[in-house]
Amino acid sequence: MSENCLFCKIIKGEIPCDKLYEDEDVFAFRDIAPQAPMHVLIIPKEHLRGPEAVGEANERVMGKLMRVANEIAGKEGQTDYRLVCNNGAVAGQTVFHLHMHIIGGRPLGWPPG
Ligand code: AMP
């Protein structure tokens, strides 16, 4: 846990969220500013700054993030969706606790802006 991290505070229950999933490794909740009908954030409970901080010790949980993300999308009624993981401010990362966006429920354009 990191003291001043927004997502660590959400995991600890210090900041409310619309939680969809939690286990010993992973936590998922609805994005506060949804960009599509389904917009969920899935995060490791361990505070990792972003993909750049992932090492061999985290590989099991990274795979679990993807498996659980697919399960959440299915429960939300979506088979077609996008997983987005921004790494660094120039790429759009604003919260520096690794997270994947699970976005779907409408046609999604490509490439991103
Ligand atoms: P990123 O820009 O990739 O770092 O994504 C951060 C995401 O966190 C944005 O989509 C925000 O809308 C979302 N967000 C920020 N604060 C909260 C919050 N309190 N609860 C849920 N989502 C949040």
pTM for the model stands at: 0.97
- For residue 111, whether the previous peptide bond is cis, meaning omega lies within 30 degrees of 0, is yes
Residue 17 CB less than 6 A away from ligand 1: yes
Helix (H) or strand (E) holding 6: helix 6-12
* pLDDT tens digits for range 23-56: 999 999 999 999 999 999 999 999 999 999 999 9
- Ligand 1 centroid, distance to 107 Cα (angstroms): 21
Decide whether any atom of ligand 1 lies within 6 Å of the 86 Cβ: yes
Annotated catalytic, 99?
yes
90 lines ligand 1 (CB under 6 A): no
3-state DSSP call for residue 111?
coil
